[in-house]
Amino acid sequence: MNAPLTTGSVQPEPPPTELVGWGNHPRAVGRQRLSEDLERITDGAALTRGLGRSYGDASLPVAGSRPVAGSPLADRVLSFDRQRGIVRAEAGVTLMRLNRLSLPRGWFTPVTPGTHWVTLGGMVAADVHGKNHHVAGTFGEHVRALRMRLADGRIVEIDEASEAQLFRATLGGMGLTGHVLEVEFAMQPVTTPWIWQESEQVPNFDRALERLEAAGRDWPFTVLWSDLLIGEPHLGRGLLMKGRWATADEAPAQVPPWRAAPTLPFPLPSWALQTWMLGIGNRLNYWKHGAAVRRGIEHPETCFYPLDVIRQWNGVYGRRGFTQYQCVLPGPHTHPRHRRFLQTLRARRADVFLCVIKDCGPAGRGLLSFPFPGVSYALDLPIGPYTQAVVDALNDVVVEEGGRIYLAKDALTRADHYRAMEGERLRNFTAVRDVWDPQRRLKSALSVRLLGDVA
Amino acid sequence: MKVALFGASKGMGRAVARLLAERGDTLCLLGRDRADLERSAADLSVRGAAGTVGIVDCDLLEPGSFVPALDAAVMALGGLDAVVVTAGLFATQDALERDAALRARLLAADFTNTVLFCELAREQLMAAGGAKRLCVFSSVAGDRARKPVILYGAAKAGLSHYLSGLDYKFHADGLRTILVKPGFVKTGMTAGLPVPPFAGEPESVAARVVRALDRGTPVVYAPGIWRWVMQIICLLPRAVMRRIAF
C-alpha cells in the first residue's frame, strides 16, 4: 500500500457526497478524491474538477461512475519568470492567488472570467473569456503548454507543436480529453496594479449594443450590465463599463490592499429573492449611477470581480438554485437577430435576475471554445417550472441564428439543440476523443447529457 | 527568521510556509519525497522566500534520518531560529482498529518519532542560545478522548503533554515552545471526512500560527473557537461521552 507516510492520511476511496456546480442545479452524488497530489488522485478518475464554479453539470460525476479528482489542494506555483511573465503552476491554484502574486510584480492574468474563485485547470477546461475578449481572445490563446494525465493513465507534456489536436481539444474541452495537471501560460504586463474605469448609463438595448461596440475600439476592458426586467421603451437599458490599466501618474503609489471577503453563512430560503425585488434593484442601480459619466481609479478586484465581495453569493437563490444561460449570437450588433433574442425572452416572461452583455472578438483555437465574433448574453435565471421552456425557446433562436452556448454555464440545453449548434466542431472534438479515449473513461454529467456518452 | 519546516509540502504546513515565504524568511524543507519538496521549494521561492529554499531528506518513520536532516538544515539555513513540525499521520479509528500495522505506524509517527525529532530539534535550537522557537502541531483530539479519534487522540495527547513540559522546563532558557492544537481543518488529511461545525481553512490557521510563532504563544487553538469547544467537551460527564458519537 503506497500511502502517504509523512503528512497526510491513509484512507480508502472517499464516501459519496453531494456535488453541485455554482448554480446548485442539478445536484449529483459521487465520490470526490481530494489531495495535494493531483497526479495520484487522477489515476483512474473519471474527471477532474476544480472549485465547481461551472454553473451546471460540467464538473459533476455520472451517477455510479468512477470517482472524480478535486484539484484545489494542488495549488503550487512552480515557476514565474518575472522578465517574460511566463508562469507554470499546478492545475488547482486559484486565479485569486495568481493575481495577488503577480500584480505587485507588474503582471496580470491575460484573461480573467468574472470571478477569481476559479482554478487554473478550470480556466483551461472552459477556455474562459473576459472583459477583454475583443482584444485578448480566450485564456487558451495564452496557454503555452499542459501537463496532462490521459485517459489511458499516461502522463504527458503537450503543446501546440507536439500534439496540436489534443492540445486544441483540451482548451475548452471541459476536462473530457484528459486531466490537466499543470498549466504554463503567459501573463500580461501591466502599467500599474490599478484600473482606470469609466462608466455611463445607456438608455435602451439598441443604444447599449452600439455603445458597447464603440467602446471596444478604445478600451481593453468593456462590459455591459443590462436591465431585462423593465418594459419598453427602456428594455435593455443599463450601465456600460470601460476600463484600462491606470498609468503611473493616475494610480496610487501602493499595491491595492487585498481584502478577505465575508461568506454568506447559509443559503437563503428559495422565496427570499423575488423578481419584483430585482426589478426595483435594477432601477436603483441605474438611477444611483446618474446620467453623468463616472470615471476614476478602481481596485482591480472590484473591477473584475464585483460579485466576489461575498463568498457563496449563489446561496441567495436558495435551494432551488439557478442557471446562467450564456450564448453568443453572430454580429453585427445591428442585425435583427439580437432584437429577436430579446423578444423571445420577453414573450416567455423570463425572470432575468442579471444580464451581462459582452461583444466578442475572433474565435480561439480550442475545438469547442465558446466565443466568436458577435454579442454574448449571460442571463441568470432562477430554477422554476418554466426555466426549461425558456432555455429551449432561446436555444431555438440560437440554432436558427447560427449562435452557440457556453458549456461552462449550461445546465438545461438538450442534446439535439447542442448538436444543431455545433455540427462540424462537435464532430472534430469527438474525433479527438475517439483517438485518445475511445472507451470514454473520462466523462461528466454534461458529457452524458450533451455528447452522447453512456452513463 | 531562519526556519526549518518538517512536513510543509502539504496541508497546514504548506500554508504556514507560504506566509513565512511571503514576508521573506529563509526556509528549509524537511520531508520524505524529494521531488515533491522541490515543487514546494519552487512555490515558496516565487512567493518571496529569501535565498534558496533548502531541501533535506527526512522521514518521520525513520528516526535515524533525524540527526543528519537537522544538521543539513542548519547548514542550509546558516543557522536556526525556529523549527516547525507539521508532519504526522492520520487514519480513522475504524481503519486503525482493523489494521495492526497501520496502528503501529501511526502511533510511532505521531508520538514516539515526533517526540524524538523534537528532542533533537530542541538541542539544535538551544545549542546556539538566544530566543528560539519550536512549533509543533498536535491536535484538539489530544485534549479529551472521543470515540472517533481514540488512537490518534492518544498519540496527540502524549505529544501535547510532552510539549507542555518543554515549555515549563526550557522557557527560562529562551526556548519558546508553541503547541498548536488545530480543530477540524479542511486539508488533504481530512478530505472525505464529514465536515463538522467550526471547520477551519488552512490559510486562517496558518495566520494564527505565524502570529503565535512571532509572539512565542505557548498554546494555540486554531480556529480559535476550538478552545471553547474543547473546554465544553472536557466538562462533559462520562455517561455523556459513552453515548455521543462525536
pTM for the model stands at: 0.94
Which residues does chain A have within 8 Å of residue B61's beta carbon, measured at their own beta carbons?
5-6
Active site residue: B152, B162, B168, B221, which one?
B152
Which residues does chain B have within 8 Å of residue A312's beta carbon, measured at their own beta carbons?
none
Calculate ∠ Cα B194-B198-B201, nearest 5°.
85
Looking at residue A296, its pLDDT comes to 96
Total residue length of chain A? 455
Which residues does chain A have within 8 Å of residue B32's beta carbon, measured at their own beta carbons?
5-6
Each residue of B114-170: pLDDT tens digit?
999 999 999 999 997 788 999 999 999 999 999 999 999 999 999 999 999 999 999
3-state secondary structure of A53: coil
Q: Which of A53-67, A160-174, A220-234, A252-266 has the highest mean pLDDT?
A: A160-174
User: Can you give the residue range of the structural domain that contains B150?
Assistant: 2-243
Shortest Cα–Cα distance, A89 to chain B (Å)? 9
More confidently predicted of B189 and A226:
A226
Shortest Cα–Cα distance, A101 to chain B (Å)? 7
Number of structural domains in chain B:
1
**Domain harbouring B157, CATH code:** 3.40.50.720
Q: Do B191 and A33 touch (CB under 8 A)?
A: yes
Q: Do B33 and A6 touch (CB under 8 A)?
A: yes
- This complex has an ipTM of 0.93
Cβ-contact A220, A265 below 8 angstroms:
no
**Residue B188 forms contact with A (CB below 8 Å):** yes
Q: Quick one: CA torsion of A114, A116, A122, A124, rounded to 10 degrees?
A: 70
Per-residue confidence band for A63, with pLDDT thresholds at 50, 70 and 90: confident
Q: How many CB pairs under 8 A join A and B?
A: 92
Q: Which residues of chain B have pLDDT under 70?
A: none
Q: What is each CA distance from A162 to A158, A159, A352, B129, in whole angstroms?
A: 6, 5, 44, 57
A10, A70, A76 ranked by CB distance to B95: nearest: A10
Distance CA B183, CA B141 (A): 8
Chain B interface, best mutation among A9, A99, A266, by max B CB count within 10 A: A9
Each residue of A261-317: pLDDT tens digit?
888 888 899 888 889 999 999 999 999 999 999 999 999 999 999 999 898 999 999
Q: How far apart are the first and last CA of chain B?
A: 40
Chain B interface, best mutation among A7, A71, A100, A259, by max B CB count within 10 A: A7
**Residue B26 forms contact with A (CB below 8 Å):** no
For each of the domains in chain A, give its residue range(s) and CATH number, in order of start. 195-246+269-415 (3.30.70.260)
Backbone angles phi, psi at B82, to 5 degrees: -150, 150
B221 is known as an active-site residue: no
Chain A interface, best mutation among B37, B43, B193, by max A CB count within 10 A: B43
Asked if pLDDT for residue A6 goes beyond 70, the answer is no
Distance CA A39, CA A181 (A): 7
| DSSP string over B206-222 | HHHHHHHHHHT-SEEEE
Among A11-20, A325-334, A384-393, the least confident range: A11-20
Q: Do B9 and A15 touch (CB under 8 A)?
A: no
State which residue of chain A sits closest to B96, comparing Cα positions: A10
Q: Which residues 59-118 of B have a C-beta within 8 angstroms of A?
A: 59-61, 86-92, 95, 102, 105-106, 109
